[in-house]
Homo-oligomer: A and B are copies of this chain.
Amino acid sequence: MFKPPSKLYRKLNSQTSCDIMQVHYSRTYGIHQRSFTSAAINIQRSPSFSKLNSDDIGYFKSMLGDKNVVQDEDRLSAANVDWMRKYKGSSQLLLLPRNTEEVSKILHHCNSRHLAIVPQGGNTGLVGGSVPVYDEVIISLASMDQIISLDKVNGILICEAGCILENLNSFLANEGFIMPLDLGAKGSCQIGGNVSTNAGGLHFIRYGSLHGNILGLEVVLADGTVLDMLGTLRKDNTGYDLKHLFIGSEGSLGIVTKVSILTPPKLLSTNLALLACKDFLSCQKLLLEAKRELGEAISAFEFMDSDAMDMVLAHMDGARNPFPSSSYNFYVLIETTGSDESYDKAKLEAFLLRSMEGGLISDGAIAQDINQASSFWQIREKLMFRKAMCWQGMSEATVKAGAVYKYDLSLPVEKLYDIVEEMRPRLGEKAKVVGYGHLGDGNLHLNIITKQYDNNILAQIEPFVYEWTSTHRGSISAEHGLGLMKADKIHYSKSPETVQLMASIKKLLDPSGILNPYKVLPQSMLQ
């Protein structure tokens, strides 16, 4: 086998790799005081909704039992605010149904009483979609966390919506499968929320959209009707495939209660390389070459700019530059997954060597198996852990830095970084503009960090960033959804006729508009 130069083989040992990644993802409810921006979104409480009364509470207690009807202020306070602490509601009631029938009864009651509700999974969303805006009843799926079945021949998992993504992945790992999605919030987010927000994440480039992986859903409609679409078949062309309506509709058309999902085999070998590139064009070219040469093996292709890297280094305790001798403009993380360890690794190494010789990468480190006695699985788990923490760390770091304006844009790859470069001179010294994201999917996470939230700065960012994205036929929400934050921005990415049809479908499925109100669609279209 050809031996590449040692430069490419700098070991990503625990000193260099894990130091970057030591901050754990955690909810920060109640730790800091920060201004909330809900008030800045000019929406009035809909007068069509009733207010909770003691009869409602009595009904819920009789049906769910006292302990699943939460009125405790501390618990409500945590559930009323999102992870970023940007959006805060004033709900007085959190319900914890334990099964589909209870969800159905709750919705039937709320619909008949015109009580608005917000479904809540792990509450890890970034657009204010999972918290109340006013006094909506919070329906948490957290108690519905049972794995129902796994078909070990076909890799088809059926589970309740409240299962935490990481728990599902741990369960599957023992059976030789993996979840087809992986994201920073995996330790908290729930599969029902993943489905409802059509979560993307790190392995999208390999396994694609949930629209391709979800085989079936059970959904409770606004009036309490249970829609059993919990199929387990890869192919089923019998009528309209309605499950897709509920994938990505952010709980505004129904509450997902059970999920059937196709899980890929857990392959034996995973390889991970962290690379440095001199410019964005090199990152792009590297992606194109990787698609051609590594093709079916790529499982992640992430990038971050040097400002993003600096942010990690400056704000994460103990983080150190994995390339201490130089500073580079861009960093790329490539993961490959395959079924033949020695071949897969050699293939990645050969590709990286060619890329280095061709000038596409300036430096690089491929993650080695420190302990040669470790099994394939252990290596893979460690690499996954490092990588996930690294990119989780990214979000965590930006949170710590000050106020953060987060944008989640889909753009043609060749245009992807232009918005970062345009935004920098536009905002000048007042803000740090960083870009990172899922380059393989054309998904940029544009983060603008300032000392504190400031409406003048916001006015320089918006609507400019949305208009720019729209001009380049991008999406103003690649994977985060619209939630409350961007409900009235939908027209930047969708045609008027399409939005009109969405509103018609919302009215058809939820005539009283009780499901997650004020989110996804402009309020004006639903009145």
Contact = CB atoms under 8 A, between A and B. Distances in A.
Interface of A: 151, 153-154, 176, 197-198, 200, 204, 208-209, 211-213, 221, 225-229, 231-242, 244-245, 247-249, 253, 265, 267, 284, 288, 291-297, 337-340, 343, 347, 410-414, 438, 441-443, 473-482, 486, 490, 492-495, 497-499, 501-502, 504-506, 508-509, 520-521
B153 A474 contact: no
A296 to B, nearest CB: 4
A494 B242 CA distance: 11
Contacts of A233: 410-412, 442, 473-475, 478
28 contacts: A153-B284, A153-B413, A204-B234, A209-B234, A211-B211, A211-B212, A211-B244, A225-B497, A228-B497, A229-B495, A234-B410, A235-B475, A236-B410, A236-B477, A237-B479, A237-B480, A238-B493, A239-B482, A240-B505, A241-B244, A242-B502, A267-B296, A296-B296, A296-B297, A296-B337, A296-B338, A296-B339, A340-B347
**Taking each of A221, A244, A247, A486, which has the highest tally of chain B beta carbons within 10 Å of its own beta carbon?**
A244
Closest 5 A/B residue pairs (Cβ):
A212-B212, A244-B244, A236-B475, A235-B478, A238-B493
Contact of A499 (B151, B208, B239, B477): B239
Contacts of A509: 501
A373 B523 CA distance: 65
B295 A338 contact: yes
Nearest to A478: B235
A236 B238 CA distance: 26
A521 B244 contact: no
A494 B239 contact: yes
Q: Taking the full assembly, how many copies of this chain does it contain?
A: 2
A516 to B, nearest CB: 13
Contacts of A226: 497
Contacts of A505: 240, 242, 505, 508
Given A154-B413, A227-B498, A235-B443, 13 more contacts: A176-B292, A211-B211, A225-B497, A229-B494, A229-B498, A235-B410, A237-B480, A238-B477, A239-B482, A239-B493, A239-B520, A292-B339, A508-B508
A347 B241 CA distance: 38
B153 A288 contact: yes
A211 B241 contact: yes
A501 B294 contact: no
Contacts of A176: 292
A494 B441 contact: no
Contacts of A241: 198, 211, 244, 247-248
Nearest to A491: B238
A444 to B, nearest CB: 10
Given A208-B212, A227-B498, A340-B347, A237 B473 contact: no
A212 B198 CA distance: 12
A473 to B, nearest CB: 7
A425 to B, nearest CB: 27
Contacts of A479: 235, 237
A240 B295 contact: no
Contacts of A291: 265
A237 B478 contact: yes
Contacts of A209: 212, 234-235
